[in-house]
Structure 1
Amino acid sequence: MNIERFIQLWTHRYFKYTHIFKAHFSGYKAWLYFKSRKAGFLRGKELIAIIRTEHFGDIVAAEPISRYVRSLHPDAHIVWFVKPSYHELVDHNPAVNETFSEFCVTQRRVLLDTGVFDKVYPLQFSNNNHCAKCQVFVDNPIAEQKGINVHTYFNFGNLLEVFAQTADLIGEKVPFPADDSPRLYLQESHRKKVDTLALPEKYIVLHCQSNYAPKDWPAARWNQLVEWLAANYSYHIIEIGLISNLSVNTPAYRDLCGKLSILETAEVIRRADFFIGLDSGPSHLANAVGTSGIILMGSLGSFPSYNPYSGKYGRQENAVFVRKDGSPCADLTLEFVRDKVVSALGTNAKKESSTS
């Protein structure tokens, strides 16, 4: 082993074991915190954990569970475990008493192993309970017993129904037993931020890239769709997301990618006439704020056709699914997508001098 390789090895080990130490330390620190909180509770008051740490679309989809758990435990102190980057989705939820920003799954395992929580509702399965730095997977025995994993989960229903089953809240093929429409808790600060953007009166929100390439539609076709929308409809087009991969040359288009928080983005979507996007986090925001959606979807892994949504999107009351069963999203032609968009938008908003 040469000196360069030796340094790389021990640098890696240093950061790995420093991370593991911090995870254990913060886990026991959190235990002391919750133990002291619990000591101040009235006799019989429960400490309840709900665990759904990522991704943000999944957290939105799982939101109805917070209200259902509150109905089961009306007097409990309910804590939602979430990754720090997504805490804003939970902070203002009136059904949740406290947001716990999780450092990593090892910290969570240390904390839960203390038994400080009276009841734990795990809305995850082993495939999304992983810390790459610790190289640790945390299993969910309930999900394992039911056979729910990354290869099977959509066989068990939409995301809300899947998460409810991983927490043993409902049985297989049983509808969610409460209001299944996800909600967001937008604050005045989010509205004020969006007010400063001076958005047009009529616009369509676009989201063109997911966090998983097999769900995406090619950028070249998005470019063509934007140009066609601008030429044929009186709407402005606002793109949201982390980063844009479009190259559009029309004054009707505006790029807001990377400029807004999650809930600020949700407020932009709420004010829009339509949302056109992929099966990804922002589409769950659109479902939660009630904006009509046009969702480009395709087959996903072992699922030739699936429906991730509950509420109005799930029932397709407020959404059009643009897909061909068994074909990936990338195979959708521009003409096919355009025809679906026309049927959803109608002709009222068309520019008088244009044709489709």
Structure 2
Amino acid sequence: MPLQRFVALWTHRYHKYSHIFRAHRLAYQAWIYFIIKKKQLPQGTRLVAIVRTEHFGDIVAAEPLSRYLRSLHPHDHLVWFVKPVFRELVDVNPHLDETFAEYCVTQRRVLLQTGVFDKVYPLQFRNNDHCPRCQVFMDNPISDAAGVNVHTYFNFGHLLQVFALTGGINMPLPPETDDQPRVYLQEKHRQKVDDLALSQPFIVLHTQSNFAPKDWPINKWQQLVHWLLDKYPYQVVEIGLRSNLGLEHPRYQNLCGKLSILETAEVIRRAAYFIGLDSGPSHLANATGTFGFILMGSLNEFPVYNPYSGRYGREEQCVLIRELGVPCAGLSLERVQRPIEAVLGAGEPQA
């Protein structure tokens, strides 16, 4: 074996096994913490784990379950497991008692195997519960028994219904339960957006998802933005991690990479309209009540689907722009413009 390959192999093994060792150490530290926590809780209080660690759109979509599970466990201690980068969504949720920012899947697996939690609701299925560093998947017998996996999940309904199914939660349908997602914005988020002094009215734009098959070509986005700026009096504010529009215009503002998730939600809440993809920010738009135009297409095995519950799930306060069996990238500029023109040309901006 050449020296360079030998060094690379053992470097990889060192990082992998040191990561696994740390995951086990952190798991047992957390076990001790939760043992002490249980002793401090009132007698009879159960420790309940809710596991939905990513992505932030999925966490927003799952938010109604926090309210429903609180109704099932009014006196228990509810702990939501989440990746650290998304914990701000959970920290401010008043229906939860605690956030557990997990290190990785292995840490969670070891911690849950200790039995310190009296009840566990796994809102994830095996295909999306993986640590690439440990090369470990977390199995979910409930979702396996139901046949929920990456190839079938949208056959079971919108994301909230899928997560309830994978968690073994028999959540009644509306109107018995409220399936409208919410985000819990704080004064600090409002103050941050006040400081931006955004010109009103404005349209929020989100052009890149975290999964390429959900995306729309960037040249079409550029044409759409120029059309919006030429035809309508709105400011256009782009949000997301990064922009590749390359636009310069006095009524275009790029906020990509400058806001937290909940600061982004506050910007979306103040917008007249949201235009974006099936991605995290569209779930924020649904949760904040902003009228949305969502560019969607066929996705893998699903020729048509709707990931949303609440208003967007009922196609209220939104237009889902799609064509049966056509991927998002296949939507023409005209197909996207038509519903936007129909709504924006009808009158005043949305409140």
Regarding TM over 0.5, the answer is yes
Distance, in Å, in 1 between the alignment partners of 2:345 and 2:103 is 48
Question: What is the CA-CA distance between 1:346 and the residue it aligns to?
Answer: 2.5
> Mind listing any 5+ residue stretches in structure 2 that lack a counterpart?
none
> Mind listing any 5+ residue stretches in structure 1 that lack a counterpart?
351-356
Question: What is the CA-CA distance between 1:178 and the residue it aligns to?
Answer: 1.5
Partner of 2:173: 175
Partner of 1:153: 153
**Aligned residues of 1:161 and 1:175 also touching (Cα < 8 A):** no
Partner of 1:305: 304
The amino acid of 1:342's aligned partner reads: E
Partner of 1:282: 281
**Aligned residues of 1:48 and 1:119 also touching (Cα < 8 A):** yes
2:196 counterpart SS class: coil
Task: Establish whether residue 341 from structure 1 lines up as the match of residue 328 from structure 2.
Answer: no
Deviations 1:316-337 (A, max 9, x none): 1111000001000111111111
Partner of 2:80: 80
TM-score by length of 1: 0.96
Distance, in Å, in 2 between the alignment partners of 1:41 and 1:201 is 49
Deviations 1:214-267 (A, max 9, x none): 000100010001000001101000000000110223221111000000000000
Distance, in Å, in 2 between the alignment partners of 1:237 and 1:129 is 36
1:111 counterpart SS class: helix
Partner of 1:13: 13
For residues 155-304 of structure 1, what are the structure 2 equivalents within 5 Å?
155-170=155-170, 175=173, 177-304=176-303
Deviations 1:296-341 (A, max 9, x none): 0000000000000000010011110000010001111111111111
Deviation >2 Å, runs of 4+ = 174-177, 247-250, 346-350
Distance, in Å, in 2 between the alignment partners of 1:120 and 1:344 is 44
Distance, in Å, in 2 between the alignment partners of 1:207 and 1:72 is 37
Identity of paired residues, percent?
64
Question: What is the CA-CA distance between 1:349 and the residue it aligns to?
Answer: 5.4
Partner of 1:354: none
Distance, in Å, in 2 between the alignment partners of 1:339 and 1:252 is 22
**Aligned residues of 1:235 and 1:349 also touching (Cα < 8 A):** no
The amino acid of 1:302's aligned partner reads: E
Distance, in Å, in 1 between the alignment partners of 2:315 and 2:87 is 29
1:276 counterpart SS class: strand
Partner of 1:35: 35
Partner of 1:112: 112
Question: What is the CA-CA distance between 1:6 and the residue it aligns to?
Answer: 1.4
2:111 counterpart SS class: helix
Distance, in Å, in 1 between the alignment partners of 2:110 and 2:199 is 50
Deviations 1:20-78 (A, max 9, x none): 00000000100000000001122211100000000000000000000000000000000
**Aligned residues of 1:294 and 1:344 also touching (Cα < 8 A):** no
Range with bigger deviation, 43-52 or 244-253:
244-253
Distance, in Å, in 2 between the alignment partners of 1:89 and 1:42 is 27
The amino acid of 1:277's aligned partner reads: G
1:196 counterpart SS class: helix
1:209 counterpart SS class: coil
Distance, in Å, in 1 between the alignment partners of 2:91 and 2:345 is 38
Name the CA shift for 1:111/1:202 in 2 (closer, same or farther; >3 Å): same
Task: Establish whether residue 61 from structure 1 lines up as the match of residue 57 from structure 2.
Answer: no
Distance, in Å, in 1 between the alignment partners of 2:224 and 2:97 is 44
1:48 counterpart SS class: strand
Distance, in Å, in 1 between the alignment partners of 2:264 and 2:335 is 28
**Aligned residues of 1:227 and 1:250 also touching (Cα < 8 A):** no
**Aligned residues of 1:45 and 1:75 also touching (Cα < 8 A):** yes
Distance, in Å, in 2 between the alignment partners of 1:349 and 1:181 is 25
